[in-house]
Structure 1
Amino acid sequence: MTTTSTIDPAHRPHLGLPKLVWALAATHFVGRAGGVVRSFLVLYLTQAQHLSPATAGAVVAAVGLGDIGSQLLGGWLGDRIGRRNTMLAGFLGGAAALTALGSADSLPGIWVAAVGAGLTLELFRPAGSAAVADLPAPQRIRAFGLLYWAANLGFSVAGVTAGVLAKHGYGLLFWINVLASLAAALIVWRRVPETRPAGSARMRQALLPVVRRDRLMIAMMAVHVGYFTLFLQTFTTLPLLMTAGGLGPATYGAVLTLNGIAVVALQPVAVRLLAGRNAHAVSAVSMLLVGLGAALGAVSHGTAGFAGSVLIWTLGQIGIAVRFGDTFAGLAPAELRGGYLGLASATWSIGAVLGPLAGTALLELAGATGLGVACAIGGIVLFAAQRALGPALRRRTAAHD
């Protein structure tokens, strides 16, 4: 059965954006504000479950492995059964998976639950992104920006509360996260209409053959896998570096909160400043900043140094986020938006697998200095690669215009 859009044009938008976007922003805020487990997972595994740093890093990577399937499945389901149903399945499934992960008392059980959490917790992202991509093109950058802003406002709340609550036991963090997933599901159920274009399921081409012929999409995915590997390793190595420097979970939570606060304060400004600029130039400079910021964090020794590194790579993170969804949405055929955005989101998930593995391995084998050198080189290489894709991106944009 074909699902048609239920957005009522008579419903006037708020601040130039449809009510759908504000409902999605609410789910992002609630999900991130209550999403307190993932940032503290490596500390839970090493301190509460007494796993080695390398094993804990591998378990965090298992969550990322589940994420890969989640993004691909979320994009596919978003085009097949609709954006709304896919988001509901993700939030409800995530609540169940987190309950299992927090209750697991054996390593095999932890592994299975970790993969399950990754497979469900991010299922909503490609479906939600596809719903935004279904909007008229002029609204997309602001809509994607609002979702990102809401998520980071929630993330800043999570950083403060989780650092304090972790003192009372990590089990409490799991229950908060479960309740947040259920609350997000309720918002979707009550407030998010279906947006999948009428007839898209019938007209849908097979995703894989289309993407195989789209060399620009493949190249963009490869560059973003590298970027997210570099970026996401910081969330595994940073707490280990700070712990080695004698700083506790509360300090780590406070430093990490700077990331969310900076995004909340600067991202709306960044949307206005960067929306009209070349996407490839914005992305290239942003990737370089992330590499340099991560390098600084690897060689820092005190709270000020770690905080400075977070602020530097946060500037790069903001730059990527401003144009990420809109750029990939512009690459996608209308009937394959969910699939393309699922693949784009999967680059984040692949980075979530490779980042913890690469970061912890480098830290263990080469020490903090070796990790810092690798991060700086990675940022430079990504800058050059993204700049090289500029002409092709301009031609694609001109063709779509």
Structure 2
Amino acid sequence: MTIHDTRLPVTPAPPRARSSLVWALTATHFVSRAGGVAGSFLVLFLTQERHLTPTTAGAVIAVIGAGTIGSQVLGGWLGDRIGRRHTMVVGFLGTAVALIALGSADTMPAVYAAAVAAGLMGDLFRPAGSAAVADLPAPERVRAFGLLFWAANLGFTVSTVAAGILVQHGYGLLFWINAAASFLAALIVWRHVPETRPPAPEASRRALLPVLLRDPVMLAMSAIHVVYFTTFLQTYSTLPLLMAGDGHAPGAYAAVLALNGIVIVVVQPPALRLLEGRDRARVLAVSMLLVGIGGGLGAVVHSGAGYAAAILVWTLGQIGVAVMFGATFADLAPADLRGRYMGAASTTWSVGAVLAPLLGTALLDHAGRSALWAACTVIGLVLFAALRALAPALRRRAPHGPEETGLI
């Protein structure tokens, strides 16, 4: 097989081909996140460079956020219809074009149109890439998903440092560099990622919704993860408000986020080896409990050391969820619906990203820190109990069959 092949064979692929696929996807995740420098300064670009009001700038960002929900669904559908590889290429190239358009738009209709395009294109690669990993044999999925998460966080760490340096040369440069990174990611996919979608006769293609509505385990896992992400994403909504209320400067919050990234980069590789092969429901249950406890701690501490301790607990839980997230949903996905199932799974993050700032800030504003602490802690306990109750059903859905011995 050469790097120009567009499909892996129906017979099981050799381990070397599967390893090459994983490393190519890992490189893609790193490049796209390391080059994602425009997002960090989008609000400042819109308010300072385009002279929009904060409210209007927030509306533009909300449009992008809403577009990502559609992007997850569309990416999953396209991944099953035109293939994982083609969907990722379309997503990265479309993102590059949308970013250039957004960086150069000088009228509000153009800004909103570019924002819609950026939202719809920006996450197409996620469910398609997840489906490609889901096409791997089940025992290899945990490690593969863990590598992608690690590479994305390493890239995010690079982008946050690089963006702070590059912005001194103007906001426009950030959009061009971000677009170039998306183009490079598309090139990596085109040259090194083979198509992994299992062949399915046209007559056997099924719609997602009827299958999904008859799958209570998938529905339950999706609901659990929406609640989890709503809690976890308090890191970016209420945590900065809590720290500011305690008199900490923005730099202290940036240091906390940097600690999160450093812990992930350092701890995840050994954590991956430790968790691989363990019961997925148990790992998810304990991890979500840790996130709930960490969120609760963040609402009651006041010192820099206290916030660092809270984020450490939070991050350990985040790592456990990230290691098992993709592999668990891949176990639930029928072979012909893997792209759409992974798209539905990814959507739980996007929905949580919408709910987190709305619910968290409202609770903090109307009930105070103690209520936020109680809510995060109780949610962690509830998620722990829910996953323990769901564990037998998840184990029954663990794949056993000839297709799990190789890519099909």
Shared fold (TM-score greater than 0.5)? yes
Q: Which amino acid aligns with 2:7?
A: S
CA contact (8 A) 1:98 1:174 kept: yes
- 2:74 aligns with 73
Partner of 2:330: 329
Cα offset, 1:241, TM superposition = 4.1
Residues 138, 399 of structure 2: 8 Å contact kept? no
How much has 1:358 moved relative to structure 2? Answer: 2.2
CA distance in 1, matches of 2:34, 2:58: 23
Question: In the alignment, residue 208 of structure 2 is paired with which amino acid?
Answer: L
Contact in 2 for aligned 1:274/1:282 (Cα 8 Å): yes
- Counterpart for residue 143 of structure 1: 144
* Contact 2:6–2:194, Cα closer than 8 Å, also in 1: no
Is the deviation greater in 158-167 or in 37-46?
37-46
Match of 2:128 in 1: 127
SS of equivalent to 1:129: helix
What is aligned with 1:190?
191
Secondary structure at 1:36 match in 2: coil
Give 1:379's aligned residue: 380
Deviates more, 1:321-330 or 1:33-42: 33-42
C-alpha change, 1:19 and 1:251, in structure 2 (3 Å) is same
What residue number does 1:6 align with?
8
CA distance in 2, matches of 1:293, 1:187: 38
Map 1:23-62 to 2 at 5 A: 23-39=24-40, 41=42, 51=53, 60-62=61-63
In structure 1, C-alpha distance between the alignment counterparts of 2:29 and 2:235, rounded to whole Å: 22
Alpha-carbon deviations, 1:28-48, whole Å to 9, x = none?
001111223445556666777
Q: Is the 8 A contact 1:17 1:139 kept in 2?
A: no
Residue 304 of structure 1 pairs with residue 299 of structure 2: no
Moved more, 54-63 or 248-257: 54-63
The 2-side partners of 1:250 and 1:101 are apart by 28
Confirm or deny: 8 A CA contact 1:288 1:382 kept in the other structure: yes
Cα deviation 1:161-187 (Å, max 9, x = unaligned): 334555666555444322221221121
Task: Give the structure 2 partner of residue 210 of structure 1.
Answer: 211
User: What are the Cα deviations for residues 276-316 of structure 1, in whole angstroms up to 9, with x where unaligned?
Assistant: 22211111111111122223334444443333322221111
- Separation in 2, partners of 1:236, 1:172: 28
Identity in percent: 64
**CA 1:100–1:368 in structure 2 vs 1: closer, same or farther (change >3 Å)?**
farther
Q: Which moved more, 1:203-212 or 1:93-102?
A: 93-102
Partners of 2:132 and 2:214 in 1: how far apart? 25
CA RMSD between the two structures: 3.2
Provide the rounded CA distance (Å) in 2 between the counterparts of 1:118 and 1:292: 32
* 8 Å Cα contact 1:157-1:257 kept in structure 2: no
1:378 shift after superposition: 2.3
Aligned CA distance change for structure 1 residues 58 and 200 (closer, same or farther; 3 Å): farther
Q: Distance in 2 between matches of 1:390 and 1:55?
A: 45
- Change beyond 3 A, Cα 1:76–1:10: closer
Structure 1 CA distance, aligned partners of 2:292 and 2:71? Answer: 27
Contact 2:29 2:152 in 1 (8 A): yes
Q: CA deviation at 1:375?
A: 2.3
Instruction: Summarize the Cα distance change of 1:103–1:295 in structure 2 as closer, same or farther, 3 Å threshold.
Output: farther
- Structure 2 unpaired stretches of 5+: none
**Deviation at residue 25 of structure 1 after TM alignment:** 0.4
Amino acid of the structure 2 residue aligned with 1:161: A
Question: Is the partner of 2:133 in helix, strand or coil?
Answer: helix
Letter in 1 for 2:207: A
Provide the TM-score with structure 1 as the length reference: 0.86
The Cα offsets for residues 82-103 of structure 1, whole Å up to 9 and x where unpaired, read as 1111001111222233334445
Distance 1:93 1:254 in 2: 33
- Which amino acid is the alignment partner of residue 8 of structure 2? T
Please say if residues 280 and 393 of structure 1, whose CA atoms lie closer than 8 Å, have aligned partners that are also in contact: yes
**194-203 or 386-395: which moved more?**
194-203
Q: Which residue of 1 aligns with 2:282?
A: 281
1:275: how far off?
2.1
Partners of 2:244 and 2:115 in 1: CA distance: 23
Q: TM-score, normalised by structure 2?
A: 0.85
Aligned equivalents of 1:334, 1:258: Cα separation in 2: 39
Q: 1:116 to 1:365 in 2, by over 3 A?
A: farther
How many correspondences in the alignment? 397
Report SS of the residue matched to 2:197.
coil
Does the Cα contact within 8 Å between 1:4 and 1:197 map onto a contact in 2? Answer: no
Please give the secondary structure, in 2, of the residue aligned with 1:65: helix
Which entry has the higher C-alpha Rg, 1 or 2? 2
Please state whether the residue corresponding to 1:294 is helix, strand or coil.
helix
1:265 paired residue number: 266
Q: What are the superposed Cα offsets for residues 170-206 of structure 1, whole Å, 9 maximum, x if unpaired?
A: 5554443222212211211222121112236553222
Residues 11 and 19 in structure 1, CA contact (< 8 A), matched pair in contact too = no
**8 Å contact 1:63–1:353 — kept in the other structure?**
no
**Are the equivalent residues in 1 in contact too, given 2:27–2:151 (CA < 8 A)?**
yes
Distance in 1, matches of 2:199 and 2:22, equals: 20
Instruction: Tell me the alpha carbon deviations over residues 5-64 of structure 1, each in whole angstroms, 9 at most, x when there is no partner.
Output: 2369999756x9521111110010011112234455566667776755x87666544433
